[in-house]
Homo-oligomer: A and B are copies of this chain.
């Protein structure tokens, strides 16, 4: 049989400025590209395995997991295939079908799927809605109170530390306190925070923290981190009754290949970059302020933004699309001519973007490019 052509190149995204927030935090530093070269083949990290991935001494996955546990302040760390697989594992270990999990209204779809796949009942803590979509501890308090009044047990409280729609940074510590005061374990989804900004799981009353290597930790996907506090280790890291060394929720071993090598190589880089998170936030705020100089462009979500993922309403660009001969495609095409990609083709009414990791000059260039396009077609928007 003949294979079809799979278009296995990514030149456009590699060689242009990519504003897709999904892609900003996963870019590999050079040392991790080197690790990828070393560990390309198959089960590459398993040469010196004595039965447990997390205990492999060469490459030193054991030391790496100690370091990452220290970095996010948990007692135990494991790699998983991504944040979603970490959430599924925690729910699977903790909950029985029919149990209730409480999560925020900005929760990622994978939090819903992890619960649904486990047969759990989801109760949502609503956000404040337009235009801020804020999630706060008071909302969790009210929801848990209501459930308590109805006599409904809650098995797990989940909070999306930073959501993927608005880039709102929640007060994890405050929500963690509400959960703990109610005696309920607390899972923090750090997919958009771990590797970008500091995480203090112990200080924030977090029982389980999940992170995403491909989203925010400068690693090749798929890989994630599951952090577990000592109190829950026996349950979540329970061993098989048939193969005593193997952890059941990990199905024995998880990241058996290249992505874990990239995450390990990236850890020093990540530890360093989270120290400069304030600089990234400042850059984002500058970007927002420049973008909002364009007629009608407005950042929605909490303001001023506290994260690099920002969502803009852009009615001005949308009105141009009505009259432009290329319709909604003009914005994508004009940006691409300026070596900017990552805004979806055809999208003009609103978009999410991020300038994470770009230099001040690059951010200026990006904002200036949007302004230039707005100027060029401004008359069409009238």
Nearest CB of chain B from residue A103's CB, rounded to whole Å = 12
Chain B positions within 8 Å of A64 at CB level: 3-4, 6
Chain B positions within 8 Å of A36 at CB level: 36, 40, 258
State the CA gap A37–B262 with chains docked (Å): 13
Check A219 for interface membership: any CB of B closer than 8 A: yes
For A250, give the chain B residue with the smallest CB separation.
Answer: B113
For chain A, give the interface size range. 35 or more
Nearest CB of chain B from residue A141's CB, rounded to whole Å = 25
Check A364 for interface membership: any CB of B closer than 8 A: no
Chain B positions within 8 Å of A252 at CB level: 84, 109-110, 113
Chain B positions within 8 Å of A222 at CB level: 81, 222, 254-257, 259
Nearest CB of chain B from residue A276's CB, rounded to whole Å = 15
Q: In the bound complex, do residue B84 and residue A81 qualify as a contact, i.e. CB atoms below 8 Å apart?
A: no
Q: In the bound complex, do residue B256 and residue A258 qualify as a contact, i.e. CB atoms below 8 Å apart?
A: no
Q: In the bound complex, do residue B3 and residue A28 qualify as a contact, i.e. CB atoms below 8 Å apart?
A: no
Q: In the bound complex, do residue B109 and residue A7 qualify as a contact, i.e. CB atoms below 8 Å apart?
A: no
Given A116-B242, A116-B248; A7-B58 close (CB under 8 Å): yes
Given A10-B47, A81-B81; A4-B110 close (CB under 8 Å): no
Nearest CB of chain B from residue A42's CB, rounded to whole Å = 2
Chain B positions within 8 Å of A249 at CB level: 117
Chain copies in the assembly? 2
Chain B positions within 8 Å of A295 at CB level: none
Check A14 for interface membership: any CB of B closer than 8 A: yes
Check A170 for interface membership: any CB of B closer than 8 A: no
Check A92 for interface membership: any CB of B closer than 8 A: yes
Q: In the bound complex, do residue A214 and residue B257 qualify as a contact, i.e. CB atoms below 8 Å apart?
A: yes
Q: What are the 10 A-B residue pairs with the smallest beta carbon separation, nearest first?
A: A26-B42, A221-B257, A4-B63, A42-B214, A220-B258, A6-B60, A221-B256, A84-B251, A10-B38, A112-B242
A contact residues vs B (CB 8 Å cutoff): 1, 3-14, 20, 22-23, 25-28, 32-44, 46-47, 58-61, 63-64, 66-67, 70-71, 81-82, 84-85, 88, 92, 109-110, 112-114, 116-117, 122, 213-215, 218-223, 240-243, 246, 248-249, 251-252, 254-259, 261-262, 264-265, 267-268, 271
Chosen A-B contacts, 24 in total, with CB atoms closer than 8 Å, are: A1-B70, A3-B64, A3-B268, A6-B60, A6-B264, A7-B60, A8-B38, A8-B59, A10-B44, A13-B47, A26-B42, A27-B42, A28-B41, A33-B40, A36-B36, A36-B258, A42-B213, A43-B214, A81-B85, A85-B251, A112-B240, A117-B249, A220-B259, A222-B254
